[in-house]
Amino acid sequence: MGGGSIFSMLYCRTERSETDKIFTNAFLSMLVIAAAFETAGIFFSGQVTHLLGADSSIFALSHDYLKTILLFSPAFLLSNLIVCFLRNDCAPKLAMLAVLSGSAANVVLDYVFIFPLGMGMKGAALATCIAPFVSLAIMSIHFFTGWNAFTLRPVLPSRRIIGGIISLGLHSFFTEVSGGLVIFAFNFVIYRLMGNTGIAAYGVIANIGIVFTSVFVGLASGVQPLMCRYHGRRDTTAIGYLMRLAVITSIIMAVLAYLLLFTHRALVVGVFNSSGDAEMRSIAENGLRIYFLYMPFMGVNAILSVYFSSEEKPHTAQVISLLRGALLVIPAVFLAYILRSIGLVWLAVPASELITTVTAVCIYCVMQRRKQEQGSALSFRLQEN
């Protein structure tokens, strides 16, 4: 994400050699990270499986899956890297086709490897690992046709470029990592408040949450290349229009999604509750009603985070990601645990997203005011001259 952002900013105002340097340094950074995962897969996959909590009854299955995934980590990382650059290189449709094709291949091969071929967990892992190769094969069209504005170039790694890539990409990293930490915190607290029935209810909410969260993340990812490009052109009018359009779109989508869930929550929970557990149904329906109040705020936060990143304010984007991801949610969940209130547990995410929205909007307004003051001062100096 960081490399794609810098590439997009430089796309219209620099030489091709400079954009190639950005991609090459992003690629070299990816290789270093891939080497770490690869080493873990070859030498430490057993220890990692134990560390993640696998006991003797599931160790063999977990280890087979984890080791295979770690060994194929370079393919996953390269696929994600190319997708980000393709989106910023005016090829979003090809990037989307590649991702969808990889996902479809994963689903089909899961069935083939697990059932007809009887490969079990290794088959499931292998199907997952083939998916990025399918995506990469489709994305290679961009290079064979000569439409690409980036390619690998024999250059030495640049600390400055890699530092910029990391800085602009950290907000995405924080968002992804925080999601895992939040799930751990919710599982810990809900199990102690409601037992396994509560965990089952949270499983319903978490799975549905992934779907709707992906919608807003996708919207922000779609806006990111455009914002970076307009920033590179110094087109503040276009950025302002894009911001308004993205925010309004996210709010409309959030309201419609919440109304859909609110009016059909019994039907949604019923899909996951084949046993007809009345207690689980009650907990999950109440949770859906409260938990998904976060959606309007999350959409705004995701877009503002991308905006700050595209304006080369990476620290602000990182703060927004950390606030909405872990710094507010996890303390709120444990406070609800202390107060022994499952209602407050469900409210932790909406409250955190709301506080983050207020913070982000205030920062945005201050930035806009400073820009206006700087513009007025510049106009005044020009008039004097």
Distance (Å, whole) CA 317 – CA 174: 10
Q: Is there a contact between 341 and 196 (Cβ–Cβ < 8 Å)?
A: no
Distance (Å, whole) CA 53 – CA 39: 20
Q: What is the pLDDT of residue 73?
A: 94
Q: How far is CA 106 from CA 93, 95, 97, 102, 111, in A?
A: 20, 17, 14, 6, 9
Q: Among 165, 170, 74, 68, which Cα is nearest to 120's? A: 68
86's tokens: 């393709």
Q: What is the pLDDT of residue 12?
A: 67
Q: What is the pLDDT of residue 82?
A: 96
Q: Which 8-state DSSP code applies to residue 294?
A: G
Distance (Å, whole) CA 382 – CA 25: 41
Report, as ranges of residue numbers, the positions in the chain whose pLDDT lies below 50.
Answer: none
Q: What is the pLDDT of residue 74?
A: 95
* CA pseudo-torsion sign 217, 280, 347, 262: positive
Burial of 338 (0-12, 13-18, 19+ CB in 10 A): exposed
**pLDDT tens by residue, 276-295:** 888 899 999 999 999 999 99
3-state helix, strand, coil in the chain (%, to 5): 85, 0, 15
Q: Is there a contact between 301 and 360 (Cβ–Cβ < 8 Å)?
A: yes
306's tokens: 């991308």
Distance (Å, whole) CA 379 – CA 385: 10
Q: Where are the chain's structural domains?
A: 1-157, 168-385
Q: Which 8-state DSSP code applies to residue 326?
A: I
Q: How many helices (DSSP H) and strands (DSSP E) are in the chain?
A: 16, 0
Q: What is the pLDDT of residue 10?
A: 84
Q: Is there a contact between 109 and 127 (Cβ–Cβ < 8 Å)?
A: yes
Q: How far is CA 10 from CA 89, 102, 227, in A?
A: 11, 30, 12
**pLDDT tens by residue, 84-125:** 999 989 899 999 999 999 999 999 999 999 999 988 888 999
Q: What is the pLDDT of residue 301?
A: 93
166's tokens: 């990391």
